[in-house]
Amino acid sequence: MLDRLTGFLLCLLAGPALAAATPASSVAHLRLPEGFSAELLVQVPGARSMALGDKGTLFVGSFRGGKGQVFAVTDPFGGQPVVRTVAKGLTMPNGVAFRDGALYVAEPQRILRLAGIEDRLDDPPAPEPVITDLPYKNPAHAWKYIGFGPDGKLYVPVGAPCNICNEPGFGVLLRMNADGSQREVFARGIRNSVGFTWHPGTGELWFTDNGRDYLGDEAPPCELNRASRAGLDFGYPYCHGGSIADPEFGKLGRCEDAVAPVQALDPHAAPLGVRFYTGDMFPAPFRQQVFIAEHGSWNRSKEAGKTGYRVSLVRLAGDKAVGYETFMDGFLDGDKVLGRPVDIMVAPDGALLVSDDSAGAIYRVSYRAGN
């Protein structure tokens, strides 16, 4: 088990060095449905999670590369984007969120706050630690996605510190005030969520979860889940995909008692960012539907081939999934990796933004009939 975990971590930390990424200025390799087109919005080193400030600044976290940077992109829509570094020297600052004029940044054990950041982009304040005691055991699944819900609360996942294990305090999604007070477990049984969002109509939380490794190329599935209320259990480590009992930890619970995913996603696809499309630019069949950034598999056999490396679309009828398909691909050329999608955002004009940490890019996907 330790050898497997070590290999997994080395693969993650190696990151883009393993990927022969094309220059980010080229988007010719990207494929989309008829009428849609992609363009490079801006190049941001190791672009991961995104958040939009009240004054239109696009904030971007990073993960690999050793510099621990957080970026601010000014004039990203319709102008000439300018990229600034607003924090550096942080530990895996993957997650970013914006609230009441402040940028919140997630490290494995801390949540940092940069107050009044949009007025100080050229002279950013030092990140102020507001939460310093998040559960931590080792780097595995310690990077975090964060977001503020419709209830004004900050949601923070604590991934399992392993491929498969039963560690108290881990494998949960926490909910708290912005200063860390009134902390509670909102949901449990979650191996590693690096993306969540809220339904634009019901306010319910939907999230992706990465399935465990070493049960074969085709199992278990990754997951798109819906938390209709607080206190639900989604099955990890005893059940995967709603129906697969874990061979090591299956005795800890029953699949019948776990919340099954809304949609089983491709095994090892590594789904990360997820968004409902709430804009008006895309045609009606794409509105209120779910877009997922699938970062891509790292340990499937060569014979089975890679999964993920795309933006997928889950079609819904109410809260039920009725379709799961590719929306944007071209991030692979055979076995050659050209990019790895990470996060998704709906821009103010209705375009879809997609970050790519391998190519160091943020793409803008737009629609025009007759393209």
Flag whether pLDDT at 23 surpasses 90.
no
Tokens (6 digits) for 46: 């190791």
Tokens (6 digits) for 141: 């699944």
State pLDDT tens for residues 254-304: 999 999 999 999 999 999 999 999 999 999 999 999 999 999 999 999 999
Tokens (6 digits) for 254: 């029953």
Tokens (6 digits) for 311: 């933006």
Q: What is the pLDDT of residue 6?
A: 37
State pLDDT tens for residues 176-200: 999 999 999 999 999 999 999 999 9
329 and 343 in contact (C-beta within 8 Å)? no
Flag whether pLDDT at 55 surpasses 50.
yes
Flag whether pLDDT at 8 surpasses 50.
no
Tokens (6 digits) for 121: 């982009």
- Reference 27, options 42, 14, 15, 13; nearest CA is 42
Q: What is the CA 164 to chain-centroid distance, rounded?
A: 20
Flag whether pLDDT at 1 surpasses 60.
no
Rounded Cα distance, 298 and 300, in Å? 6
Flag whether pLDDT at 352 surpasses 70.
yes
Q: What is the pLDDT of residue 25?
A: 52
Mean pLDDT for the chain overall:
93
Rounded Cα distance, 82 and 61, in Å? 16
Task: Give the pLDDT band of residue 368 (cuts 50, 70, 90).
Answer: very high
State pLDDT tens for residues 81-116: 999 999 999 999 999 999 999 999 999 999 999 999
Q: Which long-range contacts (CB under 8 A, 24 or more apart) does 304-307 make?
A: 304/217, 304/218, 305/335, 306/332, 306/335, 307/266, 307/267, 307/268, 307/269
Rounded Cα distance, 153 and 156, in Å? 10
Please report, for residues 51, 200, 223, 280, 368, the alpha-carbon distance to residue 270 in angstroms, rounded to integers and kept in the order given.
21, 24, 9, 29, 30
Flag whether pLDDT at 358 surpasses 70.
yes
* CATH architecture for segment(s) 35-367: 6 Propeller (2.120)
Give this prediction's pTM.
Answer: 0.93
2 Cβ partners below 8 Å, 6+ apart? none
Whether the bond between 237 and the residue before it is cis, its omega within 30 degrees of 0, is: yes
Flag whether pLDDT at 127 surpasses 90.
yes
Q: Where are the domains of the chain?
A: 35-367
Flag whether pLDDT at 62 surpasses 80.
yes
Neighbours of 260 (CB within 10 A): 17
